A and B are shown apart, each in its own frame.
Chain A
Amino acid sequence: NAGVTQTPKFRVLKTGQSMTLLCAQDMNHEYMYWYRQDPGMGLRLIHYSVGEGTTAKGEVPDGYNVSRLKKQNFLLGLESAAPSQTSVYFCAAGRPSVITGELFFGEGSRLTVL
């Protein structure tokens, strides 16, 4: 049981290049999230999805796009990478609930934009 898997784990880009981060979950959760984590700033929500075919903006959506064509996959795209997007990106899956609201995280994707 893999849980939440992110690919790639590491990537170096040049300014202006594009790339896609893939998040896959095998837990059948409806909700999926993309966060970025920077030193001293904690996890900031980029985009999220409450089900297949739906997406919504989080706290810091500019410069990113997402798609949720299949329930188990949530893709994060950078169309034109900028050095400010150098960060560690985490995907999470879960089901907001006062009973079992925990989020399951992937191991992260470390992106460097030169």
Chain B
Amino acid sequence: SQKIEQNSEALNIQEGKTATLTCNYTNYSPAYLQWYRQDPGRGPVFLLLIRENEKEKRKERLKVTFDTTLKQSLFHITASQPADSATYLCALTGGFKTIFGAGTRLFVKA
């Protein structure tokens, strides 16, 4: 069955450092991959989309890489800030459906 794995342990980093989150998947050939941010008690909010034929995409302090051979995506937040503290979800889309990983909780300490 299709499976998406994200680090279940929370990631704690110091303000100003780069946060790197990992998303691995199996039994899936997605057309594209997305990253979402979710704050407690709120719905997920879209951050970035990267297509299967793209290796890297950037948006302000965010960078996403996508390796379809390794079946892995890395999500980086550079110069992290306490306001970046949230849960980050990886999502894969193929056909009509989008499936999500369980998310990784990020804490950025001042």
Contact = CB atoms under 8 A, between A and B. Distances in A.
Given A96-B96, A101-B93, A103-B98, A108 B46 contact: no
Nearest to A105: B43
Given A40-B102, A96-B98, A101 B44 contact: no
Contacts of B91: 103
Given A107-B42, A107-B43, A108-B42, A101 B96 contact: no
B102 A96 contact: no
A74 interface: no
Contact of A98 (B6, B31, B96): B31
A108 B41 contact: yes
A98 B68 CA distance: 15
Interface string B82-99: 000000010101011111
B100 A48 contact: no
A101 B51 CA distance: 10
Interface in B55-100: 89, 91, 93, 95-100
A102 interface: yes
A94 B91 CA distance: 14
Contacts of A102: 34, 46, 49
A98 B32 contact: yes
Given A98-B31, A105-B43, A42 B96 contact: no
Nearest to B90: A42
Interface string A81-114: 0000000001010101010111111111000000
B44 A90 contact: yes
Interface in A20-57: 31, 33, 35, 40-45, 48, 50, 56
Contacts of A56: 96
Given A40-B102, A58-B97, A104-B46, 19 more contacts: A4-B43, A33-B98, A42-B89, A42-B100, A44-B100, A59-B99, A96-B31, A98-B31, A98-B51, A101-B34, A101-B49, A101-B93, A102-B46, A105-B43, A106-B43, A107-B42, A107-B43, A108-B41, A108-B43
